Amino acid sequence: MKQYIVDAFAEELFTGNPAAVLPCKKIPEPELMQNIAIENNYSETAFVVKTGTGTYDLKWFTPSGEIDLCGHATLASAYVVSEFVDPGVKELCFRTLSGELRAARDGNQVTLDFPVGKTRPVPVTEAMLAASDGLAREAYFDGGDLVIVIEDEEALARFVPNDERILRLEGVRDGLGLALTAPSRKYDFVSRYFYPCTYPRAYVMEDPVTGRAHTFMAPVWAKKLEKTRMTARQISRRGGVMTVRLEGDRVFLGGGVQLFMEGEIPFDL
């Protein structure tokens, strides 16, 4: 069977966030999906099954287990499906653990239709100040990813994460992520994103570009900037840019896609 390695939210190759995508005849057994994800050792491996014209089942696995939502691997899956499985399809609907997720392909750009992440202002705690090296000015949390706003994008770029302090944060220690974000001169906002990973050991990994985190940051910045259409950049080592459009309880995340590799694995799934 085919496997594709794709850089998502990438303006050029070797930027953005890489994901493996495997189009399958049926969803494989969980143990096999887990083993393939471990073998790939990417943050996410996606398994896609066509169920009808423009409709697909989609599952995401990290090296440590299945997850319920992943933006960049959905973007990568939409590209692979519209390029190799159903060439030319423009509108795609994925059935996932987070419900139906829709994507649209326009040239080399893919736009995702995701539910808005719930956020509410919360007090900045001593733990948040410690985890952000004293940079935290505002905080937002409502059971999803923790969003901490700081004042300066250059300070955010220089920030050196302390894994132990980040893992002490509410939410993050429960398997969710931490988004540090700041206003930007070139973009509407920039961010960095950290989340706990339990494979091969417990530590906090910085994610290159994260669609999920932007579902939580979008309502925060929409209110602060008084606009619903924004451009964001995740200023990780690889870096990546996405368009963000807020419409009611949905957020539309758009980005470029770059195909790195097309290969085969010795299974007929």
**Which residues belong to the active site?**
44
Burial grade of 168 (CB within 10 A; 0-12, 13-18, 19 or more): middle
Give the whole-angstrom CA distance, residue 220 versus residue 119: 8
Q: How many CA atoms lie within 13 A of 58 on its CB side?
A: 32
Which one, of 182, 239, 233, 169, lies nearest residue 206 by Cα?
A: 239
Sign for the CA dihedral angle at 221, 223, 224, 229 comes to: positive
Which one, of 124, 189, 130, 188, lies nearest residue 156 by Cα?
A: 189
Give the whole-angstrom CA distance, residue 181 versus residue 149: 5
Whether 113 contacts 252, CB under 8 Å: yes
